[in-house]
Amino acid sequence: MNIEREGSSPNRSLTTDLRWKIVHFKNQGLSGHEVSEIVDKSPSTCNRIYNKYLETGTVDDRSRTGWPSKRTQESEERLLTEIEANPSLSLSALLEESKVNFSKTTAFRVLQDYWFRSRVVPRKMADKRHPQKSQAQVGTRIYPQTGRVLVYSGVQ
């Protein structure tokens, strides 16, 4: 349930264009209160934007802190290269062979982002393909540009 306070905007972020307008008006010598009446934002918001401009030279948001992502372009390319070279590998074996440093869930999401779709086949079909195992994972990748389909399978 979304509750809006009177006078508050549901989208709290300001456009870059509006931020530059605030800086422009403040550089012309207008006070924070005068600028706030022109742009219809609070004086504290206008002063905060202008102070950010004075500190950093830009009005863009600062980068957020947090744990760095293990999912990089290089690791995604290694994973994709490995699955195209060895389409019969399971996800666990694929991670081991490609030497990427992220979880199965992340690897699965990477594959989904690059049009790979997989499923676990029923026990009956798995027994025919791999009698020593109970289930097998099979999937396809559809290349939208060429229409080519890559089929891969692996024992879980």
Structure tokens at 13: 């972020």
89-95: long-range contacts (C-beta < 8 A, 24 or more apart)? 89/152, 89/154, 90/137, 90/154, 90/155, 90/156, 91/118, 91/137, 91/154, 91/156, 92/156, 93/154, 94/154
* Helix, strand, or coil (residue 154): strand
- Using pLDDT thresholds of 50, 70 and 90, give the confidence band for residue 37: very high
Query: pLDDT digits over 61-99, tens only?
Result: 877 777 877 788 888 888 888 888 887 777 888 888 888
pTM: 0.41
With 50 as the cut, is the pLDDT of residue 5 above it? no
Instruction: Give me the pLDDT at residue 110, please.
Output: 84
Pairing of strands 116-120, 149-155: unpaired
Structure tokens at 64: 């957020």
Measure CA 5 to chain center.
31
With 80 as the cut, is the pLDDT of residue 53 above it? yes
Query: pLDDT digits over 129-155, tens only?
Result: 555 544 445 566 656 666 555 555 554
With 70 as the cut, is the pLDDT of residue 41 above it? yes
In angstroms, what CA-CA distances link 144 with 110, 114, 116, 128?
Answer: 17, 10, 11, 31
8 contacts: CB under 8 Å, gap ≥ 6: none
More confident residue, 13 or 110: 110
Query: pLDDT digits over 104-129, tens only?
Result: 888 888 888 887 776 655 555 444 55
With 60 as the cut, is the pLDDT of residue 54 above it? yes
